Amino acid sequence: MAWNKVALSAADQAYHNDNKPFLSATRGPDAIDTVTTEDPQWNNVGDMTLPDDNDSDYPAERAIDRNALARTRPATNWTATSIYFCLEIPSGLVANLDHVAIIGHNFDTEPNVTQVKVQIDDFPDFQNNVGSTLKDLCTWTAPFDSGRLVCTELDGGINKFELVTNIRIEITVGAGNHKPEIGEFWFGTRRQLPHWPRNPWDIHHKGLSSREQFRSEAGAVSTYARHVGRGDLTMNMRFATEANADILRGAWSDLNYGSHNGLLVPRPDSTPQDARIMSFPPPGLLNAQTQNPALALYSLPMEEVAPFVGPEGV
């Protein structure tokens, strides 16, 4: 089965170019067009058929657990030219994706890392021979954005790759040693929203802090920061057509009705690196208030999951 590239719909391309936000769910049987992955592994050759170099204290499964704060890394401090994180889709399943993100990485603090790529192939050995199906989806070069790399235009366009069976991250090291770390490797298909949510919508600038103070028996006061810079919001959206309302309802279904974290990309065209992993506070509710037979107001509260786009907290 060979991967296939298709352009997104004309409407989704127009919304993307107009910087309208989108939501996505990553792998999981409850998410449309995404799947679970098996046997994620680190190695220095990029071949899924060879022994892995996974660190048991930083297991490779952490890159696909929807939690960007728990990192994975290889066991060896490599001096190889390239280091790879590889995933193979389970037999009989495929992945469809139109964006990728690497969140919670350490590439920005490692001077030896010069380039990062996401690649796909029809074969787990990722061999770049004549007739090869190896394909570069996106490339980043140093200096890297702090904590997150996000690509919303694969292969240079607003494209979707279907029937993907093998995917990997290639980390190129210029010189010296490096032990790369990844918090979350996110890939999936978007639910492209047709317009900006209405007020209150301030995710780009909004940052919340939570602190507690403790007083010792001697009277000394100390402050503990639970988190700093978290971006929360409530999306309030009014749809004039059922087709547009189905976009948000479909995203809610992809997210297993709020039980899974989702990726929110507020400005996919200009600043995709502002993407945030969001959770949906209990009871995980998508409210719909009908105003007339053809118009409803949807309300969806969200809370950002660390690491935050804003200043990092405890």
Burial 130-147 (b: 16+ CB within 10 A, else e): eeebbbebbebeeebbeb
What's residue 78's pLDDT?
A: 81
**How do residues 184-218 score in pLDDT, each as one tens digit?**
999 999 999 988 887 656 555 556 666 667 777 78
Report domain extents, the chain. 4-192, 208-304
Which conformational region is residue 269 in: left (phi greater than 0), alpha (psi within -120 to 50 degrees), or beta?
Answer: alpha
Do residues 168 and 88 lie in contact, with contact meaning Cβ atoms separated by under 8 Å?
no
Range in 16-25, 31-40, 88-97, 133-142 the model is least confident about:
31-40
pTM score of the predicted model: 0.86
Dihedral angle of Cα 61, 66, 68, 72, to the nearest 10 degrees: 0
34 against 56, higher pLDDT = 56
Angle 232-234-236 (CA atoms, 0-180°, nearest 5)?
155
Cα Rg, the chain, nearest whole Å:
20
When pLDDT is averaged across residues 30-59 and rounded to a whole number, the result is: 75
What's residue 308's pLDDT?
A: 80
| Superfamily name and number for 4-192 | Galactose-binding domain-like (2.60.120.260)
Helices H, strands E: what count in the chain? 2, 20
What's residue 31's pLDDT?
A: 39
